[in-house]
Amino acid sequence: MSTQEMKQAVGNAAAKLVEKGMVVGLGTGSTASYFIAALIKRYQEENLSIHAVASSKHSFDLAHQGGIPLLDIDALTSIDLTVDGADEIDPSKQMIKGGGGALLREKIVAHMSHEMVVIVDETKLVPALGKSLLPVEILPFAHTATRHHIEKLGYRGSWRQTKKGDTYLTDNGNYIFDIHFSHLLDNPRNDEKAISSIPGVVETGFFFDLAGRVIVGFADGQIIIKK
Ligand code: A5P
């Protein structure tokens, strides 16, 4: 199976977990988009009565085009089930997310959810976090100073840019500073604490203790659901 096929397979598997009457949180990214497509199919073919909230404008648009009724998140205090992808996930289900830039809203949606189902292909499994970049959402106000303080703690990274070379802006109008680590992290919770303590840091891409079931797709076609 190709990576895209694995992503589609886990997206399809997650869509089967959605039950009638649920408020569903929609993640962001290519894997979450496969989930949204599969959910739209169920919604249309089975007349599944559900409502959804989206973690990004992109996911909102996908669901909206498919006819899924979307709710204003400000009218809710909880969500039944959220399905989202991840950039990295370790054996204890701790994650790094935000490759798609939606980390802040994704974390809020995940935190509001009774369960966050994570859908990944096997390339996202890591022995410890820190293999790829850690996205950090930063307020534009005084962002040079915020970066300086992050670097003073010993972290290195770069501002995310669009394909055209402009500064990338999140749905919240903030910047993303992508930190790269020189080795896998021994204690990512310490890194999270240190980075988050800097004023101007809005959110980091560390997602601790949020994952419920994890659906993993393997190249040989196997799909495993980790509880
Ligand atoms: C979006 O901001 C991210 O958190 C994604 O969930 C994550 O980057 C995984 O993306 P893919 O499903 O595109 O690999």
pLDDT digits (tens, 9 = 90+) for 103-129: 999 999 999 999 999 999 999 999 999
Q: Beta-carbon neighbour count of residue 168 at 10 Å?
A: 15
C-beta 85 within 6 A of ligand 1? yes
DSSP string, 191-205: HHHHHHTSTTEEEES
Q: What is the pLDDT of residue 85?
A: 98
Q: Are 125 and 87 in contact (CB under 8 A)?
A: no
Burial grade of 91 (CB within 10 A; 0-12, 13-18, 19 or more): exposed
**DSSP SS3 for 19:** coil
Alpha-helical regions (H) of the chain:
3-15, 30-46, 57-65, 103-112, 143-152, 188-196
Tell me the average pLDDT of the chain.
97
DSSP string, 91-112: TTS-EE--TTS-HHHHHHHHHH
Q: What is the pLDDT of residue 214?
A: 98
C-beta 97 within 6 A of ligand 1? yes
pTM: 0.96
Q: What is the pLDDT of residue 95?
A: 98
pLDDT digits (tens, 9 = 90+) for 26-59: 999 999 999 999 999 999 999 999 999 999 999 9
C-beta 84 within 6 A of ligand 1? yes
| Across 94-111, average pLDDT | 97
C-beta 100 within 6 A of ligand 1? yes
Q: What is the pLDDT of residue 29?
A: 97
* Ligand 1 nearest-atom number relative to CA 101: 2
Q: What is the pLDDT of residue 78?
A: 98
Alpha carbon of residue 69 to chain centroid: 21
Residue from 2, 5, 31 to probe ligand 1 pocket by mutation (most atoms less than 8 Å from CB):
31
Q: Are 98 and 137 in contact (CB under 8 A)?
A: yes
